[in-house]
Chain A
Amino acid sequence: AQSVTQPDIHITVSEGASLELRCNYSYGATPYLFWYVQSPGQGLQLLLKYFSGDTLVQGIKGFEAEFKRSQSSFNLRKPSVHWSDAAEYFCAVGPQGGSEKLVFGKGTKLTVNP
């Protein structure tokens, strides 16, 4: 069965510092991988997605993620964090096998210190 693990429940960084959020997945085939962001009181917004091709994917708001098949990882990065990046970030995998399901990780809450 598909599963997604986000090992870090909460991360705090200083504004201007670099950021890396970890995501590991378990999947039986070539995965479709997504990163979503949820600001407080809001729905989820897609940051970026990977489904084939170049393993380094660029997204909105200056985010990027790298797919590493050998490590079953899809980590999200940003070189310089802004205060407005404070939010919760969700990694997701899917769909597969004719199902349209996305399986989400539990999320990583990002706090940005001034």
Chain B
Amino acid sequence: DAGVIQSPRHEVTEMGQEVTLRCKPISGHDYLFWYRQTMMRGLELLIYFNNNVPIDDSGMPEDRFSAKMPNASFSTLKIQPSEPRDSAVYFCASSSRTGGPQETQYFGPGTRLLVL
């Protein structure tokens, strides 16, 4: 299995620009999670989907952030407009809950975002 795939791996953009991060979960997984990691706040859950439906977006910082999952094999996290404080590593993770809540979340390699 290829694991969770994220693109791009690195993104440098200027303040005010739109940023789109992409994620391909592990095939067959029905949960998808977006996390943000910063030195100050650690690892935070932004939003998660079940069967392509957003379940909990309470961690999304503000309206500039949006996430979609048009099908079971693709999700996007968009920031528009971007700000320097959005600089972080963004992780996507997926899991299959067929075995119950103890099932593992598998993380992608992350996208390192720098907003200048």
- Chain A interface (Cβ within 8 Å of chain B)? 32, 34, 36, 41-46, 49, 51, 90, 94-96, 99-102, 104-107
Contact = CB atoms under 8 A, between A and B. Distances in A.
A51 B109 CA distance: 26
A42 B91 CA distance: 10
Interface residues of B, number: 24
Nearest to A6: B42
Interface string B91-116: 10101010011101111111000000
B14 interface: no
B102 A49 contact: yes
B98 to A, nearest CB: 13
30 contacts: A32-B102, A34-B104, A36-B107, A41-B109, A42-B110, A43-B4, A43-B91, A43-B93, A43-B107, A43-B108, A43-B109, A43-B110, A44-B43, A45-B107, A49-B102, A51-B100, A51-B101, A51-B102, A90-B43, A94-B101, A96-B101, A99-B56, A100-B31, A100-B50, A100-B55, A100-B95, A101-B45, A101-B48, A102-B45, A104-B42
